[in-house]
Amino acid sequence: MLVTFFSFIFLFLFSQVALSTEINLVHGDGDSLKVDLIVIGDGYSLQDQDHYHQRVDELVDYMFTSAKSAPYPRYQNFINVWRIDLMSRESGIDDIDAGIYKDTPLH
């Protein structure tokens, strides 16, 4: 099922963006019997990728260690977290009210 999902994501993304796209396992062991959580960062340029990686690491750390994120800490051994690195041509997100539209893969 995960392979089918990733195949769909790849086809969609590569039809939308000419820059590189990578998928990385950031938590878990990739076991197909686990729940898969996928984080997709849209609006991060190549220069922003380190910041995006840091933000995903912070999210995963908070999700599995904070008392406020219950019940995830208890179930962390049953969850894989995947990070999809999309390279946007422009940094940031759209602000429709201000008439700002960014060139990103999921735009």
Q: Give the model confidence (pLDDT) of 4-50 as tens digits.
A: 555 555 555 555 544 668 899 999 999 999 999 999 989 999 999 99
pLDDT at 58 over 90: yes
Instruction: Note the helical H segments in the chain.
Output: 2-16, 49-65, 72-75
Give the three-state DSSP class for 41: strand
- Nearest residue to 80 via CA among 2, 27, 32: 27
Report pLDDT for 19: 60
Q: Give the model confidence (pLDDT) of 61-93 as tens digits.
A: 999 999 999 999 999 999 999 999 999 999 999
Contact in structure between 89 and 45 (CB atoms under 8 Å): yes
Report pLDDT for 78: 98
